[in-house]
């Protein structure tokens, strides 16, 4: 059984399956034991779980926005893994990668701001003390997650940001090779540091970085299976067309007796045939809809 393909299903959100790896439960139990207040330990773990989950949703939703796919998120002690496949384009990959750290940065600023506000306006309320303690821990946690994720080594986001940035000026294979060598160099320094300080956890982390860096070549071959064009400008234009279309659909729904769908070529609606399927042509400039018979044969306007 694949180590990363197992997990406890936690639900499906925005069409994305969320799973919790069993090792996360072991880590959670270990962290809870470190707190004298058992309830606070569980609250801290819940905050940790939420911050990591939002970070991974940042990756997943950005991948979808960048004309890609995202179906699964796995939470485990070293963070989370969002199974994303954005469009095969350096800008699309960079958007997907940067979205996670941006979410973590926003969470850091939010928890820091709320902590400062509570300290300024309600410093003497006892219940606020626990809230400030939790917000302080969340602030430190998100700062740690942000700094750790920006280390320029695979599988952290920093390694992917390095690869995706270099990819704009060279091939994906060469950019990946450079990022892999940087990852190996950082992992080697980490192993030397860990041996000198007898930090066995850091040794395990460095070995994990070495293994994940090597697997990037295999992941690259999988992701590059197919070529997809991507442009931020075209994506924004398409988003505006979609918003106009949804507004038109909402306006139609408020009118009595007006068909929901209408083929621009033949004029048929769902009133003529309930089994008809309609699609919006992405190559036309407006929100024109066409039935299946004319979707591929109409002149673009």
Give pLDDT tens digits for 80-93: 788 888 888 888 88
Residues 6 or more apart whose Cβ sits within 8 Å of residue 82: 56, 57, 59, 60, 63, 70, 72, 73, 100
Q: What is the mean pLDDT of residues 209-230?
A: 66
Tokens of 233: 């400008």
Predicted confidence (pLDDT) per residue in 154-165, tens digit: 888 998 899 999
- Per domain, the residue ranges of the chain are 1-149, 152-229, 232-291
Question: What is the model's pLDDT at position 100?
Answer: 92
Of 178, 207, 213, the closest CA to residue 190 belongs to 207
Mean pLDDT (whole number) for 159-178:
87
Band of residue 105 on the pLDDT scale cut at 50, 70, 90: very high
258 in Cβ contact with 252 (< 8 Å): yes
- Rounded (5°) CA angle 114-141-208: 160
In this prediction, residue 281 has a pLDDT band, given cuts at 50, 70 and 90, of confident
Give CA–CA dist 26/23, Å, rounded.
5
Report the pLDDT value the prediction gives residue 80, as an integer from 0 to 100.
78
> Which residues are CB-contacts of 276 (< 8 A; sequence separation ≥ 6)?
261, 263, 268, 269, 270, 291, 292
pLDDT band at 98 (very low <50, low <70, confident <90, very high): very high
Mean pLDDT of 64-79: 81
Write the pLDDT tens digit of every residue in 177-213. Answer: 888 888 888 888 888 887 877 777 777 777 777 777 7
Can you read off the two tokens belonging to residue 288? 């024109």
Residue 1, pLDDT score: 41
Q: What is the mean pLDDT of residues 59-65?
A: 90
Digit-coded pLDDT (tens) for 1-60: 444 556 778 888 888 888 887 777 777 777 777 777 777 778 888 888 899 899 999 999
- Sort strands 278-280 and 79-85 into parallel, antiparallel or unpaired: unpaired
**What span, in angstroms and rounded, lies between the C-alpha atoms of 11 and 245?**
31
Residue 107's pLDDT band (cuts 50, 70, 90): very high
pLDDT given for residue 118 in this prediction: 80
């Amino acid at each position: 059984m694949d180590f990363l393909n197992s997990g406890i299903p936690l639900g499906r959100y925005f069409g994305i399956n969320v799973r919790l790896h069993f090792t996360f439960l072991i880590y959670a139990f270990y962290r809870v034991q470190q707190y004298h207040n058992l309830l606070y330990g569980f609250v801290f773990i819940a905050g940790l779980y939420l911050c990591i989950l939002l970070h991974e949703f940042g990756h997943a939703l950005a991948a979808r926005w960048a004309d890609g796919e995202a179906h699964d998120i796995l939470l485990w002690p070293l963070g989370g893994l969002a199974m994303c496949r954005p469009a095969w384009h350096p800008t699309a990959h960079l958007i997907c990668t940067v979205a996670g750290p941006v979410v973590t940065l926003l969470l850091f600023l939010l928890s820091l701001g709320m902590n400062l506000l509570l300290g300024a306006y309600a410093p003497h309320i006892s219940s606020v003390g626990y809230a400030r303690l939790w917000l302080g821990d969340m602030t430190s946690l998100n700062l740690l997650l942000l700094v750790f994720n920006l280390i320029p080594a695979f599988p952290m986001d920093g390694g992917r940001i390095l690869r995706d940035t270099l990819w704009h000026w060279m091939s994906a294979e060469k950019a990946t090779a450079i990022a892999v060598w940087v990852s190996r160099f950082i992992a080697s320094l980490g192993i030397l540091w860990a041996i000198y300080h007898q930090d066995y956890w850091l040794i395990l982390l460095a070995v994990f970085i070495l293994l994940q860096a090597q697997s990037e070549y295999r992941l690259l071959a999988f992701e590059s299976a197919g070529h997809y064009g991507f442009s931020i400008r075209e994506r924004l234009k398409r988003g505006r067309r979609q918003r106009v279309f949804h507004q038109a659909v909402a306006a139609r729904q408020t009118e009595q007796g007006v068909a929901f769908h209408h083929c621009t070529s033949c004029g048929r609606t769902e009133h003529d045939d309930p089994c008809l399927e309609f699609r919006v042509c992405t190559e036309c400039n407006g929100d024109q809809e066409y039935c299946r018979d004319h979707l591929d044969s109409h002149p673009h306007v």
